[in-house]
Amino acid sequence: MKRRTLIAAAVSAAFVLAGSPAFAQQPIVIKFSHVVANDTPKGKGADYFKKLAEERTKGRVKVEVYPNSQLYKDKEEMEALSLGAVQMLAPSLAKFGPLGVPAFEVFDLPFIFDNYQELHKVTQGPVGAALLARLEPKGIRGLAYWDNGFKVMSANKPLKTPADFKGLKMRIQSSKVLDAQMRALGANPQVMAFSEVYQALQTGVVDGTENPPSNLYTQKMHEVQKFVTLSDHGYLGYAVIVNKKFWDGLPADVRTTLEGAMKDATKYANDIAKKENEDALEAVRKSGKSQIITLTPEEKKAWKKALVKVHQDSESRIGKDLIQSIYKETGFDPAKL
Ligand code: LMR
């Protein structure tokens, strides 16, 4: 064979090889780890993001969603993100203290939001954006806020007044504001990973807990808690976060497409959150395993009275200015609690 023919043959062979699956460009993999069931606002949001991201990048990106603490528990998943072992998480806003950004615990203040509309003024406005920016020095980029909902309290005894909490061991997330909240009610807070709560309730390691109905129901906590109080005493939601180095290192067109997918997945997750929680509560009711307690206006007032001091007591941890800026957005007035 002449030299030129040889080169042509080699070049065409290279093209054939490059087109074969073994030589096809490997997709960029995003491991998205979370701790809740698929059938929750966050679980569905993560799955929807995967769908949009993969469709819109035409397979250049593959999103692997690992639900239910399958890959990592609460504390470990934060470490895994920092180390680059996973690329995306959506931890509860109550779990950023160990990362060194306790300001997110402002969302845990009792009764600070009356409804999703008030909350969205913060999460979809400048205060929320400034909070996400505080993650940057930690090597983390905050992409969005995803809703879950307003929390119920559960135990094996009816919780109607603050006095009913006296001496109860209550599981909480790692937030110091939630610790203060439980102490203000006279309970003993116990920090515990989400994946361990069901068993801890079942075996009596803790007496009760708090979460929105979607988490309570999908973890079957209602099967080991005789009473559920519809207290709406606080909010639980998420920040979707990525490893900043990974995100900044993506090809610009891929990153832009993923940002669009995240925007649409965020809208979807936030649109379904309220109904998901209503449906979960209905399912708990129908199961007949827990009795659902609705507070009278007087009882609710007593909860607010017992809990309002948590706002002032948390100023040094989360910042008075931040708390005030949220009051301003929502029109909240602690004097009215
Ligand atoms: C919890 O630990 O109770 C929640 O943060 C779980 C979750 O991610 O919704």
Question: What number does the ligand 1 atom closest to the CA of 193 have?
Answer: 2
Contact 36 CB / ligand 1 (< 6 Å): yes
Average pLDDT of the residues in 125-137: 98
Rounded Cα gap, residues 131 and 271, in angstroms? 22
Structure tokens at 198: 């069901």
Contact 140 CB / ligand 1 (< 6 Å): no
Instruction: Provide DSSP, 265-326.
Output: HHHHHHHHHHHHHHHHHHHHHHHTSSEEEEPPHHHHHHHHHHHTHHHHHTHHHH-HHHHHHH
Contact 194 CB / ligand 1 (< 6 Å): yes
Phi/psi at 313 (nearest 5 deg)?
-65, -20
Residue 25 DSSP label: P
Query: For 251-297, how does the pLDDT look when each residue is reduced to its tens digit (9 = 90+)?
Result: 999 999 999 999 999 999 999 999 999 999 999 999 999 999 999 99
Question: What number does the ligand 1 atom closest to the CA of 95 have?
Answer: 5
pLDDT at 7 over 50: no
| Of 14-18, 152-156, 223-227, the least confident | 14-18
Sign of torsion, CA 142 148 151 152?
A: negative
Cα 36 to ligand 1 centre (Å): 7
Contact 268, 48 (CB under 8 A): yes
Contact 89, 33 (CB under 8 A): yes
Q: Which residue among 33, 35, 197 has the greatest number of ligand 1 atoms within 8 angstroms of its CB, and so is best to mutate?
A: 35
CA dihedral 246, 119, 121, 268 (to 10 degrees): 60
Domains belonging to the chain, first-starting first, are: 2-101+114-147+237-274 (3.40.190.170), 152-234+280-332 (3.40.190.170)
Contact 33 CB / ligand 1 (< 6 Å): no
The amino acid sitting at 190 is Q
pTM of the model: 0.92
